[in-house]
Amino acid sequence: MADKKAFLIIDMLNDFVKEGAPLEVPAARGIVPNIAKRMKDARNSNTSVIYLCDSHGKDDPEFKAWPRHAVKGTAGSRVIDELKPEQGDIIIPKTSYSGFYNTDLNEKLKSLDVDELIITGCVTNICVLYTSVDALMRGYYVKVPEDCVAALERDDHLFALKQINKVLRPRTQKQR
C-alpha cells in the first residue's frame, strides 16, 4: 500500500539561484539552508529525494517568454553545489512548469509507493504551484513548507501558498 513520502526539490539550479543568473530568483538564496536541513531529515528517514530540473533545448519555445536558462548540459542547468544530489537520489529533467508534464515522475512515485509529496524550491507561483496542482489532481497529498520555496514577487508567493496549502485542502493534508 502506498504510504511513503518523497521530498522534491524544484529548479534549485545555478541559472535560478546564483547572483546575476539569467533567471535569478534572489529569494531562492535565502531558502537554501532550510531545504538543506529538511533534505537531511528526509534522507535520515529513508524518504526518497527527487530533483525536478529544468533541462531545455537551446531554442526551447519557453525562451520566448523567459530569458534563456537551464539549457541541457550547461553549468547553469546544474543543481547548486549546496544542495547537490547524492547517490541514490532521483533526478528528473523537465521542460515545462509541471514536473509531471512529459516526464516519468508519476511512474517513479508509483514504483516507490509514494503517496505524499513535500515540495520545495522555486518558483513558488510557477513550477512549485503547477507541480503541486498536478500532484493533487493525481491524488497525492502535498505539503509545501513556506520557508523552502521562493518567488520573484511576495504577492505571487503568498497567493500560490494559499492556493496549495489552504484553498486546495483537505487533499493537501494527510491525517496520520
Nearer to Zn ion, 4 or 72 (CB): 72
Contact code string over 39-68 relative to Zn ion, x by CB under 5 A: ---------------x-------x------
Helix or strand or coil: residue 106?
Answer: helix
Nearer to Zn ion, 62 or 89 (CB): 62
Query: Quick check: 130 and 97 in contact, CB under 8 A?
Result: yes
Contact code string over 6-45 relative to Zn ion, x by CB under 5 A: ----------------------------------------
Region of 58 on the Ramachandran plot (φ > 0 left; ψ -120 to 50 alpha; else beta): alpha
The CB-of-55 to Zn ion minimum distance in angstroms stands at 9
Query: Quick check: 132 and 150 in contact, CB under 8 A?
Result: no
Nearer to Zn ion, 10 or 118 (CB): 10
Nearest-CA neighbor of 147 among 9, 65, 50, 33? 33
Q: CA dist 89 to 47, 71, 108, 135, 140, Å?
A: 10, 21, 12, 20, 20
Nearer to Zn ion, 62 or 115 (CB): 62
The CB-of-147 to Zn ion minimum distance in angstroms stands at 24
Binding site for Zn ion (CB under 5 A): 54, 62
